[in-house]
Amino acid sequence: MNSNTKKRVLSASILVAILAFFLFLSPFYLQILIFIVGILISDELMTNFFKLTRESKEYKIVIASYIALVLFHFFSKSESFHDVLIGLNLAVNVYLLAFLFGVRKPTFLLLKKFKRQHYFIGLFSFIPAHTIATIVTKPNGKIYFIGLLLMCALADIAAWFFGKKFGKNKLWPSVSPKKTVEGAIGGIVVGTLGMTWYWKFFTGMNQGYWSFIFLSLIILAILGDLIQSKIKRRFALKDSSTLIPGHGGIYDRTDSILFAAPFFYLVIS
């Protein structure tokens, strides 16, 4: 095991330990953890993508707006507010899919338009965090939450393993040079089988169509990963940050989870 792999394993073990600790607490504290992750993603986007300093007016406005939205999440009793945000989450994902498949060449104008939207970074980070936090509050919410994380983690780990061992054909070189077709297939198969077993064991639902649902969700999670890779390429970045040794940033580790979350919410609802 080389030094980078050891670093990745150690970092992943620490993250799993932190998550396990919060899973033993009430859903309220788990939601707090989710929103902390969201604010860290906002920080990465502002400081590394948009090159804003933490002392800048723009940075402070984004953080303040994010915190205001979090407080509204906890204190609002309006179901329609939560429904609108989840609908907005789906709409943003459709926009991101259009960006992934529709924008072929990097252009100065596109990057300029992106950078004009920095005031919306807080909302961009909050919307998927809100969706995941809402999943946690449902009956059996922790089981669903672990399922969402497990689904994306299994697919990601299997894709890395199969890509490293058997990868020969590039999946989408212009977007993510390291990803391979073999890795993607391995991730989809292992993730689907693992989630089908998890779902049957913890929820008792073992109808055959669940495998098809998880297969579809894992494909969406992979697309979320590719979207983030394409955004990083537009901003000439390798990682969203260096916060997690061997893994990059928080956004690098959560991109597929954030993208799959609203679709997963529709399934469990």
Over its length of 269 residues, how does the chain's per-residue pLDDT go in tens digits? 566 677 778 888 999 999 999 999 999 999 999 999 999 999 999 999 888 899 999 899 999 999 999 999 998 877 788 889 999 999 999 999 998 998 776 665 556 666 677 778 899 999 999 999 999 999 999 999 999 999 999 999 999 999 989 988 999 998 898 899 999 999 999 999 999 999 998 888 777 788 999 999 999 999 999 999 998 988 888 899 988 887 889 999 999 999 999 999 999 88
Any idea which residue has 């330990």 for tokens? Answer: 17
| pLDDT value, residue 43 | 95
DSSP conformation class of 52: -
Range of the domain at 56: 3-268
Rounded CA-CA distance 232/99 in Å is: 13
Angle between helices 27-44 and 141-166 (to 10 degrees): 40
| pLDDT value, residue 204 | 81
- C-alpha distances (whole Å) from 42 to each of 132, 195, 250, 251 are 16, 30, 10, 9
109: its two tokens: 């104008």
Residue 69 and residue 122 in contact, taking contact as beta carbons nearer than 8 Å: yes
Tell me the backbone φ, ψ of residue 81, rounded to 5 degrees: -60, -45
Tell me the backbone φ, ψ of residue 5, rounded to 5 degrees: -65, -40
> Count of domains in the chain?
1
CA-CA-CA-CA torsion sign (33, 38, 39, 40):
positive
Rounded CA-CA distance 240/6 in Å is: 21
Q: Can you give the three-state secondary structure of 111-141, one letter per residue? A: HHHHHHCHHHHHHHHHHHHHHHHHHHHCCCH
